[in-house]
Amino acid sequence: MSLTTSAPRTWRLIVRRSLIGLLLLVLLLAMTLWALLRASLPQLDGRIELPGLSAPLSLARDSLGTAVLQGENRLDLARGLGFVHAQERFFEMDLSRRSAAGELAALFGPQAVERDQERRLHRLRARLSERLAGMSDADRALLQAYAGGVNAGLAALRVRPWQYLLLRAQPQDWQPVDSLLVIGEMFTMLQSGGIQGGFERALLREKAGDPLFDWLTPRGGAWDAALDGSQLAPLALPGPELINLQKAAHQPEAVAGLRPRAPEDEAVLGSNNWAVAGGRTADGRAILADDMHLGLGVPSIWYRTQLQIGRGDGALRAAGLSLPGAPSLVVGSNGHVAWGFTNAYGQWFDWIRLPAKLPEGRLRVFEESIAVKGGAARTLRVQEVDGAPIMKTVQGQRYALRWVAHQGEAYNLGVDAFIQARSLDQLLSQARMAGLPQQNMLMADNKGQIAWTVAGRLWSESGLGSRYARFQSLDTPARGWLAPADYPLIQNPTDGQLWTANNRQSAGAWGELIGDGGFDLGARARQVRERLSERPQHDEASLAAIHLDHEARFIKTWARRIEAGAAGHAPHAEVLRLLQQWNGQAAADQVGYRLARSVRLHTLDALWLAWTRPLLGAEMQGDEKTRMAWKKNFEYSAVQALELKPAHLLPPGFSSWQAFERSQVDAAVAELSEGGKLPLAQATWGQANPSRIQHVLSRAIPALAPWLDMPQEPMDGDANLPQVMQQRHGQSQRLVVSPGHEDQGLLSMPGGQSGHPLSPYYGAGHADFMRARPTPLLAGPAQHQLEARPPTSPAIRP
């Protein structure tokens, strides 16, 4: 054989062997990664020794991964819950405590420093460490038991949680104070938007003056559905002496660059709940429903949990949802009482305008060190005046924040007592002293009673009067704590129904007490109230149907307005046709809903910008980052102007109000058709509202999305109606339950129970949630059984 013949064969052999070797190497690497992933799975069956247990503890799981814990006392159950939380969700727990404390950069590196600096201004780890030392012995014992279980669960994994393998990091042990930080993270999640909105409102009041400010940011209107039945009268239209866009000072040259922006999705405010008393059911049972609106992700923020203390007839069983990182049930039912929450959106804060020179002795400075993965630590200088951190400097003026979440007394484990409450009165008493972000709490008992109150510690003075949307002075007195007997309360109303949806609940003294930290428009609450009133009697199925109600009663008013303007106007003939074909639902296959919704957002955005930019100037209303957005009740101001059509409020550049309104329709059409590139008839709501229920790591590393994220699918629902579902925000759970009849209760949630993609419970229940298939509250037959015993030898780790 010649050399010229053998050389190509030799090269082909070398290449073939190299490719085979590379394939084997890749296969070996994949097998190693697979083995590591499997090694980080939690233990579901068998026996374990759990340090600190006083008696045997059963840990079972059903087909959805519901953790069913059965033990002899509360501390043992807390230890067991900590164990399963850590095995399934330690990474998510870690993110919660790090986010609250401003410690994410130690895990993720320099890109998280700015966020850490913002959170570190609150110094929550230092504040809550001090609070922990002053808590009751019982609370500290519960936190210690839970932390011990968490650390035992983490240590029992054969390999550290898979997320830390990917991040090349080591998980840090759980400390009792970390559970308080998880509560602190909920304060931030539920109240930070209201705090920022409160600052913007106070700034606007200063610029606009009281009469114009009050009209631009009304406290309520025709859509209100307050529990006390109060209605706030509309304010008079401001005259040209207050604002006149036709004057030279307000002509286009003074507001150069004024253009309606393509509106982003309207901010979604969180949560619905409703209840009917025994007189509204066939057999005298009270029934409660609850769905909390939060950011949607994988896994779910909540964890399906069933706790049983004792055995036999005297056993206490509580079923519902726990929050990984905390030892208690957040919502649920225990056979005697059931409870659920919506965010109350009160004014739980004051913004303080600081003098140029601070009084001597009232300023303290703290040096906060921020650890940064892969880099040097950063030092942040935090200044506090009378305990209120200096948060903002605007045009040389400094502002400090006094916030209820900075007060140690706002934190305790009072929520944990709910699982052992035996009566409505006992639950009410516990709710008023519970340490949690202030919530509208609805409750029902097994005697057919229902009630509403605001749960969480309340300040004794609040902001409808002198404090609402106003900067306070440094000498404004700090607020004290309200006596429990003075809390708002509605119990057993004559019509037998209660509802809340982040709306204004009351006027008068209670309204003064709660204040306004950014209430939602009342349209959602009103629709829930109307659905309850449509039937003389209810059951679990009829209350569950309200969770899925996506009739767009509110947006229909805008559709009628647009139709009236489009009638006889040839360029808008297709718009008129699509609105007339709309079925009135915020349904994924509908174009009419998306069209009317978009016109509304463009209209409100254009009016707000035209009316506020002359007040705030280009610096504050000039670009997307600095622009002050309109709040929910601006709806009333805008609609009033559209109906009365005053010349002095017509935005510059338009010859008439009709021309302005048609321009907003044109802007919406251009948005939906992508500038005429796509047929308007194909612009369905589902196209703009697909689910994006993602894992936090897939957002940073998109290549992981096929393995970590839930499937995308068009969704029904939106804001301003009961079925609140937007791409990344919406119903984080749906609960319906009658105390004592938990076997007929329903509970579902998106995203699944487990945080491990190889777990049988990763995404479990998600498809049922998305397709509205009923899922029982109580756990089904056990698929896995883990038995925990006290250690037979001294424990190495606490």
Q: What is the pLDDT of residues 71-113, one digit of tens each?
A: 999 999 999 999 999 999 999 999 999 999 999 999 999 999 9
Question: Average pLDDT in the 311-325 region?
Answer: 92
Interatomic CA distance for residues 20 and 16, integer angstroms: 6
**pLDDT at 552 > cutoff 60:** yes
Instruction: Identify the pLDDT of residue 202.
Output: 95
**pLDDT at 378 > cutoff 90:** yes
Amino acid 442 reads: L
Question: Average pLDDT in the 405-420 region?
Answer: 96
Q: Which residue has the higher pLDDT, 376 or 361?
A: 376
pLDDT tens-place string over residues 197-213: 999 999 999 999 999 99
**pLDDT at 256 > cutoff 90:** no
Give the DSSP H/E element, type plus range, for residue 555: helix 553-566
- Give pairs for 227-235: CB < 8 Å, separation 24+: 227/452, 227/490, 227/493, 227/498, 227/499, 227/500, 227/505, 227/506, 228/490, 228/505, 228/506, 228/507, 228/508, 228/510, 230/506, 230/507, 230/508, 230/511, 232/507, 234/636, 234/640
Q: How many helices (H) and strands (E) does the chain have?
A: 23, 27
Spatial contact of 263 and 330, defined as CB atoms under 8 Å apart: no
Q: What tokens does 305 get?
A: 């949990």
Give the DSSP H/E element, type plus range, for residue 38: helix 3-39
Instruction: Identify the pLDDT of residue 660.
Output: 97
Q: Which of 11-25, 389-403, 675-689 has the lowest mean pLDDT?
A: 11-25
Instruction: Identify the pLDDT of residue 192.
Output: 94
Amino acid 220 reads: G
Interatomic CA distance for residues 297 and 781, integer angstroms: 27
Instruction: Identify the pLDDT of residue 10.
Output: 72
Which candidate, 313, 278, 308, 380, places its Cα nearest to that of 73? 308
pLDDT tens-place string over residues 683-715: 999 999 999 999 999 998 999 999 999 999 999
pLDDT tens-place string over residues 148-169: 999 999 999 999 999 999 999 9
Burial letters 768-795, b for 16+ CB under 10 A, else e: ebbeeeebbbbbeeebbebebeeeeeee
pLDDT tens-place string over residues 257-281: 334 444 345 556 679 999 999 999 9
Question: Average pLDDT in the 757-782 region?
Answer: 96
pLDDT tens-place string over residues 277-287: 999 999 999 99
Instruction: Identify the pLDDT of residue 627.
Output: 77
Q: What tokens does 38 get?
A: 């499997």
pLDDT tens-place string over residues 564-616: 999 999 999 999 999 999 999 999 999 999 999 999 999 999 999 999 988 88
Phi then psi for residue 129, to 5 deg, are: -65, -40
Q: How many CB atoms lie within 10 A of CB 763?
A: 22
Q: How many CB atoms lie within 10 A of CB 102?
A: 24
One-letter-per-residue 3-state SS of 363-376: EEEEEEEECCCCCC
Rg of the chain in Å (alpha carbons): 28
Instruction: Identify the pLDDT of residue 736.
Output: 98
Global pTM reads 0.93
Q: Which residues contact 568 (CB under 8 A, 6 or more apart)?
A: none
Model confidence band, residue 7 (pLDDT cutoffs 50, 70, 90): low
**pLDDT at 289 > cutoff 50:** yes
Q: Which of 162-176, 449-463, 480-494, 667-681 has the lowest mean pLDDT?
A: 449-463
Spatial contact of 268 and 674, defined as CB atoms under 8 Å apart: no
Mean pLDDT, the chain, rounded, equals: 92
Interatomic CA distance for residues 725 and 718, integer angstroms: 5
Question: Average pLDDT in the 391-420 region?
Answer: 96
Interatomic CA distance for residues 433 and 452, integer angstroms: 15
Q: Which residue has the higher pLDDT, 649 or 624?
A: 649
Model confidence band, residue 476 (pLDDT cutoffs 50, 70, 90): confident
Instruction: Identify the pLDDT of residue 258.
Output: 38
Instruction: Identify the pLDDT of residue 8.
Output: 66
Helix (H, G, I), strand (E, B) or coil at 755: coil
Model confidence band, residue 22 (pLDDT cutoffs 50, 70, 90): low
Q: What percent of the chain has pLDDT over 90?
A: 84
Interatomic CA distance for residues 403 and 407, integer angstroms: 7
Q: Which residue has the higher pLDDT, 791 or 11?
A: 791
Instruction: Identify the pLDDT of residue 478.
Output: 82
Q: Among the ranges 10-14, 274-278, 514-518, which has the highest mean pLDDT value?
A: 274-278
Q: Which residue has the higher pLDDT, 360 or 507?
A: 507
